[in-house]
Amino acid sequence: MSRSTGQVIALGGALLLTAPHAISANSELSALKQQLAQLEQKIQQLENNQAAEKEAKDSSESGIKVGGAIRVNYSTNSYDEDTKNRGGDLDFDVFRFNVSGEIADIGVNAEIRFFDYMSVVKYAYLDYDITPQWQTQLGLTQVPFGNDPYNSHSFFMSPNYYLGLEDDYDMGLVMRRKVTDNWQLDLGFFKNDELGGIDGYVEDRKDRYSIDIVGIRADDEGTYDAPASKLAEQNTFVARYAYHLEHPTGSTAIGVSALSGGLHDGNYSAGDYQAWAVHLNSNLGNWNLQLQHGQYDYQIDATQRIAIAANATYDTMPTEATSSSVNIAYNLSVNYGPITHLQLYNDFGTIYNKSDASNNSWMNVTGVAVTAGPIFSYVDLVHAKNQPFVGGTLSGQSDDVERRFNINIGYYF
């Protein structure tokens, strides 16, 4: 019996005790008891309705939600004469679906992307909150390395993406500790890459979202050739720790990341690889500052270059190098018609001390991200040297600085 119901019955009892003796007639007493019973029934019905509404609300919050995006891309550059003569090209970029939600306390998260040149699953994993502080993720999930969740602001991300050290997704298990007591910790074990490793049942190993090693680059092979000697990562352990400092103008996360794993050629173990990074992500009022510095090393005998793949393309990079990046952004709330938010940024990253003696790579992106209702757009001016997707490669020997002007417009639903 609820508290409100008990109060009504107590009130009714008090009325019976204090009423005049004339009400003690059986007929009148029976009528009063009937009224009390009807009132109690109405209160119970209201409580049942409230419980049903709460249950329906909880059910809607724990259901599966489907969203996505449609994006187009305009670009012109300095390294493609045909594109320059046409005044640039407007291309379909991607049509994607996102699934997220929770059923029976188990969360599901997935994204599939449809390009005109490939279709890929970016991520697909289940999550479960073991405790209020710890969550576990199982499946094709993000490798916790570097600034969280990205070490960049632009559409092109930082050079770390092209090393496979930013926005990378592999098959494994991650334990994530939420930010409590000012610190967070991510621990991961990844059995292999997103395409099943060296013997994954896929038609084309270069059709993937994340950059991964796919082979040894022989001296007589071209930069963009499919490798004759295949390799793949296996049994990778990853850890990322960050300490969060609160200050009057915002917060700063100072962290360190490290990973170590093996390489396999399909028959035998073929080497190991490691990487580490120190990083900082600071919000100071409307400003955001990101710093990151690290190294990676693929320990493979008799080679200084490896074949990598993603976005339906093979490429080449040195087995060992150092990377550094400095990114700054300013967030501005505006009211320009449908435009409500602008983020102005400049991201700079470089890769140097390369094992194959190739020239340094660097990329500087100056741009603005525009939010207008369901429309989100990047407008980027890129200057780069020996940089993938900007007329170069990480193992390049060019001294030319290439340019690319890029506008990516997406409708998100």
- The three-state secondary structure class of 181 is coil
pLDDT in tens, 162-188: 999 999 999 999 999 999 899 999 999
Q: Which residues are CB-neighbours of 333 under 8 A, at least 6 positions away?
A: 340, 341
Alpha carbons 259 and 355: distance in angstroms, whole number: 19
Whether the per-residue pLDDT at 54 is higher than 80: the answer is no
Residue 150: which H helix or E strand, with range?
none
Q: What is the structure's pLDDT at 139?
A: 98
Q: How confident is the model at residue 410 (pLDDT cuts 50, 70, 90)?
A: very high
Query: In the prediction, which pLDDT does 25 show?
Result: 53
Band of residue 287 on the pLDDT scale cut at 50, 70, 90: very high
Average pLDDT score over residue span 125-133: 97
Q: What pLDDT does 7 receive? A: 45
State the angle between helix axes of 26-61 and 3-18 in degrees (0 to 180), rounded to the nearest 10.
170
Average pLDDT, the chain: 91
Q: Which residue has 């435009």 as its token pair?
A: 339
Q: What is the pLDDT of residue 3?
A: 47
Edge to edge, the sheet with strand 212-216 lists 229-230, 212-216, 305-310, 313-318
Classify residue 41 as exposed, middle or buried by CB count within 10 Å of its CB (0-12, 13-18, 19+): exposed
Over residues 18-47, the pLDDT tens digits come to 444 444 556 666 666 677 667 677 677 766
Locus of tokens 């003690």: 24
Residue 196 has pLDDT above 80, yes or no: yes
Would you say the pTM of this structure is higher than 0.75? yes
Closest-CA residue to 210 (of 116, 312, 110): 312
The residue to which tokens 């994530």 are assigned:
176
- In the chain, what percentage of residues exceed pLDDT 90? 84
Q: What is the pLDDT of residue 228?
A: 96
Question: In the prediction, which pLDDT does 22 show?
Answer: 44
Mean pLDDT of 377-404: 97
The sign one gets for the Cα dihedral 171, 194, 213, 175 is negative
Closest-CA residue to 395 (of 386, 408, 403, 404) = 386
Q: Which string of DSSP letters, residue by residue, matches 219-247? A: TTS-TTSPPSEE-EEEEEEEEEEEEEEEE
**Integer Cα distance of 155 and 92 in angstroms:** 15
Q: What's the average model confidence in pLDDT over 342-367?
A: 98
Q: Return the pLDDT at 15.
A: 38
Is residue 76's pLDDT more than 90? yes
At residue 16 the predicted structure's pLDDT band, cuts being 50, 70 and 90, is: very low
Q: What is the pLDDT of residue 344?
A: 98
Confidence of residue 210 (pLDDT cuts 50, 70, 90): very high
pLDDT given at position 43: 72
| pLDDT for residue 8 | 38
79, pLDDT greater than 60: yes
Q: Which band of pLDDT confidence, cut at 50, 70 and 90, is reported for residue 225?
A: very high
CA distance 111 to 380: 25
Q: Is 373 exposed, middle or buried (0-12, 13-18, 19+ CB in 10 A)?
A: exposed
Q: Identify which has the larger pLDDT, 18 or 102.
A: 102
Is 5's pLDDT higher than 60?
no
DSSP for 205-222 reads TT--SS-EEEEE--TTS-
Upper half-sphere CA count for residue 199 (Cβ side, 13 Å)? 5
pLDDT at 19: 46
SS3 184: strand
Position 60 pLDDT exceeds 80? no
Strands (DSSP E) contained in 224-338 are: 229-230, 232-247, 250-264, 269-284, 287-299, 305-310, 313-318, 320-336
